[in-house]
Amino acid sequence: MIIDSLENAERYISIHPLFEEAFKYIKTLDLKNTEIGKTDLSDGLKIIVAEKVGMKQEESVAKFECHNQNIDIQLCISGKEQMGWKSRQSCSSPKGEYNTEKDVLFYNDAPDMFFELTDNQFAIFFPEDVHAPMIGDEVIKKLIVKVKI
């Protein structure tokens, strides 16, 4: 997992061939006025912009998730978003089977830590990062980039 602010995004473009395109695209946006919805940016890059009231911690942890086929770049546009995290290799209690179509596997485990993102801060979750996003008491606007591995 990586946590940083958008101003430092260039540091991470060498991690994956599609990161440069993803971060360049994000920097072209007027984030505060970006419309809610989903966009296929290119082959291997999907953009999701969401805005809603955050969940209670228990509600988000009930959907403690990770992905096999995608890396998530989750950028907080506005609000305060708390997220839970735990290493996948430390998780021992899967909740059901891996869903190939949705690229998601849920766990019953609890996060080892929580952290908070605010305006223009992002987290990058790799397949080994189990995460519980969208925890908060206020409206959170965020942009998620699904980067195909």
Comparing C-alpha atoms, which of 72, 66, 65 is closest to residue 22? 72
Residue 21 — φ and ψ, nearest 5°? -60, -40
Q: pLDDT by residue (tens digit) across 121-138?
A: 999 999 999 999 999 999
Distance in angstroms (rounded) separating the CA atoms of residues 128 and 107: 13
Would you place residue 23 in the very low, low, confident or very high pLDDT band (cuts 50, 70, 90)? very high
Distance in angstroms (rounded) separating the CA atoms of residues 37 and 136: 21
CA dihedral 22, 106, 63, 108 (to 10 degrees): -140
Mean pLDDT, the chain, whole residue set: 97
Average pLDDT over residues 66-85: 98
CA dihedral 39, 133, 96, 58 (to 10 degrees): -140
**Where do runs of H (alpha helix) occur along the chain?**
19-28, 57-61
Distance in angstroms (rounded) separating the CA atoms of residues 111 and 83: 9
Would you place residue 140 in the very low, low, confident or very high pLDDT band (cuts 50, 70, 90)? very high
Residue 19: strand, helix, or coil: helix
Q: pLDDT by residue (tens digit) across 100-126?
A: 999 999 999 999 999 999 999 999 999
Residue 119 — φ and ψ, nearest 5°? -45, 125
Tell me the CB-side half-sphere exposure of residue 134, using CA atoms within 13 A: 19
